[in-house]
Amino acid sequence: MSGCCGGHDHHGHSHDHDMTGVYRNILWIAFGINAAMFGVEAIAGAVAGSVSLQADALDFLADAANYLIALFVLNRTIQWRAGAALVKGGAMGMFGLYVLGYSVYTATTGGVPEAPIMGVVGAMALVANVATAIMLYRHRKGDSNRQSVWLCSRNDAIANVAVIGAAGLVYLTQSHWPDLAVGFFMAALSLHSAWQIIRQARGELREGRAHGHPAE
């Protein structure tokens, strides 16, 4: 969820009626992919001693939660969906702060990560995120939750490319700084995106109250 961000949309209700079973199934598949990749990257990140892999593992965990939230609020009111987006934004902010702190800690104590593991697992993560993004592409329009689900997958694929690039630089330089740079980048992206999602969700909550939409 490192690159999640909400887009502006003031006509989300026009999309309420096209919340099909196809979209629901895609969300379940995306949840399964992300939960599995969290396990793979968490183990690989620990074995390789890589900050960027561990950051990406937490990112997959956050995305898995993101898809569950999206499923929960699929046919609920704008206020339910905006409330869920607020929770999502808060979780992303905490994730960003954790990765930032872990990056600082590793900068002073860590050794050189295992570049081959970083490269292979980073490539696996890229395939997983590209597959998810392709599935979600046709369903990217709508309220902040639909848009953030799509943008999460698209931007995570970009982050995976950065991890693969870091692996190459770690291998060439035998330094942990490229890995740390990607870790810092993902943390900053999470904090920025959390702020965007929270701002958008608060706007939707205000709009919902202004139009007198019920809270349940």
For the segment 54-67, what is each residue's pLDDT rounded down to a tens digit?
889 888 988 888 88
Q: What is the mean pLDDT of residues 196-212?
A: 81
Residue 90 inside a domain? The answer is: yes
CB atoms within 10 A of CB 70: 24
Side chain identity at 176, as an amino acid letter?
A: H
The domain in which residue 63 lies consists of 34-210
Residue 188 inside a domain? The answer is: yes
- Is pTM beyond 0.95? Reply is no
Displacement of CA 76 from its chain's centroid (Å): 22
Residue 18 inside a domain? The answer is: no
Tell me: the pLDDT tens digits for 113-144?
Answer: 999 999 999 999 999 999 998 888 877 666 66
Pair 144, 204: CB distance under 8 Å: yes
Residue 24 inside a domain? The answer is: no
Q: Residue 4 above 60 pLDDT?
A: no
The CA distance from 147 to 159, in Å, is 18
How many domains are contained in the chain? 1
Q: What is the mean pLDDT of residues 146-158?
A: 76
Length, in residues, of the chain: 216
Most confident of 35-49, 60-74, 95-109, 192-206: 35-49
Residue 27 inside a domain? The answer is: no
CB atoms within 10 A of CB 87: 14
More confident residue, 61 or 29: 29
What pLDDT score was predicted for residue 215?
45
CA distances, 120 to each of 54, 127, 185, 202 (Å): 14, 11, 20, 40
CA angle 194, 195, 200 (to 5 degrees): 100
More confident residue, 70 or 113: 113
Residue 5 inside a domain? The answer is: no
Displacement of CA 181 from its chain's centroid (Å): 18
The CA distance from 75 to 78, in Å, is 9
Q: What is the mean pLDDT of residues 14-31?
A: 75
- The sign of the CA dihedral 121, 115, 52, 110 is positive
Tell me: the pLDDT tens digits for 83-94?
Answer: 888 888 888 888
Tokens at residue 162, please?
């950065």
Residue 26 inside a domain? The answer is: no
Residue 9 inside a domain? The answer is: no
The CA distance from 129 to 191, in Å, is 20
Tell me: the pLDDT tens digits for 168-181?
Answer: 999 999 999 999 99
The residue to which tokens 């990140």 are assigned: 45
More confident residue, 20 or 40: 40
